[in-house]
Each structure stands twice: as structure tokens, then as C-alpha cells.
Structure 1
């Protein structure tokens, strides 16, 4: 059985947990387990996601604790008022667009409402917030200072993969008359856009690093145009007549000849086909020169 390679994220997660447990022992935190869970959840695939996850856990913990404490001093926390409290939590999170903090807020709220009475409720809410804060700080710090995730490298990998897939799609279309579904290509283009958004968020945590915004925007636009032109071509017919200009460009690009096929006559669909094929080749040349 082949043993999988241990990744850096795994290593950082273990370091974060051990460090959190050590800090919990030194400062006698009430729940090293909860602090460790917060540290684990904060080790994300990007710096921005780490801080966002940590922020959401802290928001949820504080909000859940505050609502539980306020309601416990006003009304008896029976099933009816617990339901009201959950509705209040969800409403507040939606109001402030804290959608990813909702579950944590509800967990803390229910933990206090169902398990604690009197001063114990306040102590639990305070301890839970402190434990979460410690875990989040340690997890985010480990992810930031120990070999931080290279989100730009991931974008480049997706771009190269998308470029090769487009070449493969075009080659199969021209030489094999094979029409493939374009959903995978569309997903790759979407991944490039999403990856770039994460990369730009990560840049806020670094100084002097270039975002290469124009570079990635041009690549993204070219991939989008290629996808759109391919969609039109796929809707026409399987055996078009490729004009001489496109044929020369394609043969030069792939370094092999396109077999000659006799046709009775060319029609308007062939003109449409060659127009979109020319546009694909033009955008592909732009991508090729950039990467």
C-alpha cells in the first residue's frame, strides 16, 4: 500500500494543535479541546481564508454567548424561547452578512441555554470566547508565518491546465471531428476567477507584492472568449470546411497537417465556423504568448 505524502497543511495543523495545547496548559484555559478545534479550523488554503474563518468563529462565539446571556436574564430558557433565540441569531447574522458564523453562534447559544445556570452561563460564555480566540490566533499565525499558502502558484497551475485542455479540445475537433462537452472548461475558467479573488485578498496581508491584475484579467478574458466561440462552433456541424488561412495557422500551431477533404460547396455555416475558429486561434495566440 502506497503511503500518501504528508503535506505542509498537515504539518502546520499538527504544530498549531500542539502549540495551542501548550498555551492552554500554561495559562490554564478551561477547554484546550475547543481551543485546538478553533486552531484546526483556522488552517485554511489561503491566508485570507484563515483570517475569515477565525473571524467568523469569534463573531459566532461572542454573538451566541451574548444572546444566550441576555435572554437568560429576561425570560426562562425553555423550548419556546430557545427557538426565539435561534431566530434572533440567524436574523442578526444575516443582517451583518455573517452567514458562516451562524452555526458557531447557534452551537454556543444552545450549549449555554441547555447546560448552564446562573453565573455559570457567564463563565462559560467568557471561557468559550477566550478559548476560541487563543486557537484562532495561533492557527492564523502558524498559517501566516510558516510557509504560507501560495495562492498565485495555484492560479498558474489552473491556467496551464486550462490552456492544455483548450489545445486538446481544438486538436480533437480538427483532426478527429470530436465534440466534447465544455462544462469542464467552464469550471476551470470559473476556478481561475475564484482563485484570483482569493489571491487578491491574500495580497492585503503582504507588502510590496504585485497583484498582476492586468495579466490575469487578460488571460481570464481570453479563456472566456475561447469558451464562447467554441460553444458556437459546437452548435453548427461536425464537418465544416476550414479555410486556407485558418488551416495554415492550425498546422503551424500543432506542427502537423490537416487531411484534405473534398466538399461539394461551401455554405454560410462554413463562414460562421471559420470566423469563430479564427477568433479562437487569435485568443489562443495571446494566451500562448503570455504563459
Structure 2
């Protein structure tokens, strides 16, 4: 098991899955006696991405580009394959078609397929040659997506749970240091954690059919993000109020209870600024209480 983990860490799962995809492309090509397995292998290499949805999108772009390039190459090869002037005009047309259809990411591969047909036809039937390029590309894309989905698929749920707990822990520590220790804290770290968690959720939702139980868990994590955003909003408002802010007795007791600290009231002045401050501090404490119930691995609060 340890050797396996070391091997996959050194090689990388994406590298390994790319290799498997290429081997399968060669195997399928031999079975169906495909003349040029090279194009299927290239499509598989390009389509293999870090997530299944990314593989699908990359493969889709390649397929669109191949379709435009093959069709344009077929038309121009029927006129005069290998003609320098037509190659230049055809390249412009392929790019314009892809851009016009908003397939800009497909333009480069479209040009490659067009040029392959125009320069490598060598007396072959242009219809058969163009159709074969489409089929070979399609085979490579399907194999890459299949391998990426079946062979050691990304464990998004584990990443989501870990990122969620990290976010909760950092938010609790962040608020403790700010309100108990009066320490300046940079919110960018929390914002980065939220962004990372959102990315994991998006990848998971794009790649898999979520089960009902998992849907509840994902919605819980989304609630964590919402609560953290509320806390950050209130902290921004508090930061804009200035330095001479005084905590009221209710919030003082809640902070002391939550963080096991020893805050005392110093000549609390009940002006408008302090009313706003304590209102938002109360909102933050409410959110922290809810966050603690979501956190799987509870944060140790006593040593802030």
C-alpha cells in the first residue's frame, strides 16, 4: 500500500490515466483496424484533464474544432488539395467559423485538422480521409472521459469535507484573535479558503450525479460558506467604525463562554457607534455558534 501511494504520488494519477487512455486507443485501433491511431491518441492526451467535466469540455472543444476543420478540409481538398493559396484562405475560414460560432477554443485544433487533410491527402479519397479523422478524434475523446471517470476518480467529497472543516477552524480562530486578543487579522486567508471550497463543490456538482444523502451534506457545506460570508460582512462593517469600540455585557459573556477568555467591560458608552458594533458582534457570535455545530472535527478554543 505504501509503495502504491509513493508510486502514484511520484507519477501522478493524471499521468497514469493518460497512459492508460493512450494504450486503450492503440488497442481499439488495432481491433477496428484504424489506419492512423495517432489522431485518437492525441485526442485522448489533450482531453485528459484534472476533472471529468474538464475532460468533457476539452473533448467537446476538440470535437467541434475537428468537425469544422474536417468539413472545410473536405471542401477545399475537392477543389485542389495542397494548393498554397487555398490553404491560407481555408485557415482563415476555419478560424472565422469557430469564432463566429463562439467556439474560439476549438479554432486551433480546427486549423490542425484542416492542414492535415490539405497536406497529407496524397491521392486518398477526401471523403473517407475526412470522416476517419472525425471518428479517430471521437474515439480518443470517449476513451479519455471514460478512463477519467472510472479509474481512480477525484475524491471531491473528501476535499469538500476537509476544506469545510479548515474554513470553520480558521474562521473561529480568526474571530477569537480579533475580538478576544484584539489582534489584526488579514481576511484574505479566509476569502481564499471560501474560494477553494466553492471550486471543490463546483467540480463535484459538474462531475457526478449527487445522491440524496450527499446533497444534504453539500447543502450543509454551502450553509457554512454563507455563514462565513455573513461574518466577513459584519467584520468589514466593524472595521469601518474606528478604534474606540466598547463591548456590552451580553456580548462579553458570550465571547468569554465561547472562547474561554476573560474580557471585561471598560466604561462602556452606549452611543450609536457602539450600538452598531455590538449588533454586528452579536450577529457574528450567532454565526459562530452555528458553525461550531457544522464542524466535524471541533476546534479547540481554549488556547487562542
Q: Cα distance, 1:108 vs. partner?
A: 2.4
Distance in 2 (alpha carbons) for counterparts of 1:165 and 1:23: 50
Q: Is the 8 A contact 1:46 1:202 kept in 2?
A: yes
Q: Is the 8 A contact 1:20 1:32 kept in 2?
A: yes
Q: Cα distance, 1:149 vs. partner?
A: 1.7
Q: Cα distance, 1:14 vs. partner?
A: 2.7
Q: Corresponding residue for 1:128? A: 133
Q: Which is further off, 80-89 or 107-116?
A: 107-116
Q: Is the 8 A contact 2:252 2:265 kept in 1?
A: no
Q: Corresponding residue for 1:79? A: 88
- Where does structure 1 lack aligned partners over 5 or more consecutive residues? none
Q: Is the 8 A contact 2:194 2:225 kept in 1?
A: yes
TM-score, L = length of structure 2? 0.77
Report the CA distance shift for 1:265/1:18 in structure 2 as closer, same or farther (over 3 A). same
Q: Corresponding residue for 1:275? A: 279
Q: How does 1:139-178 map onto structure 2 within 5 Å?
A: 139-178=144-183
* CA deviations over 1:214-247 (Å, ceiling 9, x no partner): 4244223212212211221222234522222222
* CA deviations over 1:116-165 (Å, ceiling 9, x no partner): 57746545533332222222222222222223222222222222222122
Q: Which is further off, 178-187 or 141-150?
A: 178-187
Q: How does 1:81-230 map onto structure 2 within 5 Å?
A: 81-92=90-101, 94=102, 98-113=103-118, 116=121, 119=124, 122-204=127-209, 210-212=214-216, 214-230=219-235
* CA deviations over 1:156-193 (Å, ceiling 9, x no partner): 22222221221232122124433333334334323333
Q: Is residue 2:255 matched to residue 1:250? A: yes
Report the CA distance shift for 1:223/1:265 in structure 2 as closer, same or farther (over 3 A). closer
Distance in 1 (alpha carbons) for counterparts of 2:119 and 2:20: 34
Q: Is residue 2:34 matched to residue 1:29? A: yes
Report the CA distance shift for 1:130/1:246 in structure 2 as closer, same or farther (over 3 A). same
Q: Is the 8 A contact 2:163 2:193 kept in 1?
A: yes
Q: Is the 8 A contact 2:95 2:107 kept in 1?
A: no
The total of aligned residue pairs comes to 284
Distance in 2 (alpha carbons) for counterparts of 1:18 and 1:88: 34
Q: Cα distance, 1:91 vs. partner?
A: 0.6
Q: Is the 8 A contact 1:64 1:89 kept in 2?
A: no
Distance in 1 (alpha carbons) for counterparts of 2:99 and 2:52: 27
* CA deviations over 1:74-130 (Å, ceiling 9, x no partner): 6961534532331122112x1xxx454343334323444565577465455333322
- Where does structure 2 lack aligned partners over 5 or more consecutive residues? 1-5, 296-304
TM-score, L = length of structure 1? 0.80
Q: Is the 8 A contact 2:238 2:277 kept in 1?
A: yes
Distance in 1 (alpha carbons) for counterparts of 2:208 and 2:237: 37
Partner residue of 2:58 out of 40, 48, 53: 53
RMSD value over aligned CA atoms?
Answer: 3.2
Q: Is residue 2:26 matched to residue 1:17? A: no
Report the CA distance shift for 1:155/1:83 in structure 2 as closer, same or farther (over 3 A). same
